[in-house]
Amino acid sequence: MDPAHVLREVIDSFSDVAYPGDDRIVEGFSGEDLERQRIAEQFRGHRWAGMPLEVLIENTGALAFFTPEAFRYYLPAYILVALSLYEDANTIPSDLVSALTLPTEHDTALVREVLARVPGSAVEALEEADALAQFYRSGAAERRFADRVTGLSPAQATSIRKALEYLRDAYGQDFPILGPQVALERYWSRF
């Protein structure tokens, strides 16, 4: 698969996505959450096509905090970096694949398994895994995923599928769990 062709499809399919608005960049922003505040400030007013690489790399986890509108708006910027600058993209490829993977309750068991293998895993990390498990069991994780992807056009969804296929074929070995193949199997292969 030619990455240049996939990149062109992503650019073309997302070219007319509307900016979410300055107040619709992050979810649950109360003004006291410094990480959400930083993300909102760094993305506010930026077009996805002109996002500075440094801002994306400094905010690799921003996909998790975006509103559904901002997720759909900035998603192509993350895809472009993951595909064209994979080696220099920090954790953008893995964060992208994670954000594009339909969550299941089984995922929390995988997180606990990985944490158990890390020497000196903090109790706080295991407590976070337990909170994540509750989030998944409640169905909130699936609803959040649906809220984010439901507004995508068929052309956008197809370009995402192709981007995931490229990541799988070129770098699949870099994703020991929940990689591009899982994202494709759970949701994107239908496009």
For position 101, what pLDDT does the model report? Answer: 96
Kindly list the distances between the CA atom of residue 163 and the CA atoms of 84, 138, 153, 173, 185, in Å, as whole numbers in the listed order.
11, 30, 15, 16, 14
| Residue range 157-176, pLDDT digits in tens | 999 999 999 999 999 999 98
For position 111, what pLDDT does the model report? Answer: 67
Chain centroid, CA 25 distance in Å: 14
Q: Rounded to whole angstroms, how far apart are CA atoms 187 and 150?
A: 12
For position 172, what pLDDT does the model report? Answer: 96
Domain ranges of the chain: 3-102+145-190
- CB neighbours of 150 closer than 8 A, spacing ≥ 6? 68
| Residue range 115-162, pLDDT digits in tens | 666 665 565 666 666 676 777 788 888 999 999 999 999 999 999 999
- Nearest Cα residue to 72 out of 20, 142, 144, 141: 20
Rg of the chain, C-alpha, whole Å: 16
For position 179, what pLDDT does the model report? Answer: 95
For position 80, what pLDDT does the model report? Answer: 98
Percent of the chain with pLDDT over 90: 72
Mean confidence (pLDDT) of the chain? 90
For position 34, what pLDDT does the model report? Answer: 87
For position 69, what pLDDT does the model report? Answer: 97
Q: Rounded to whole angstroms, how far apart are CA atoms 135 and 127?
A: 13
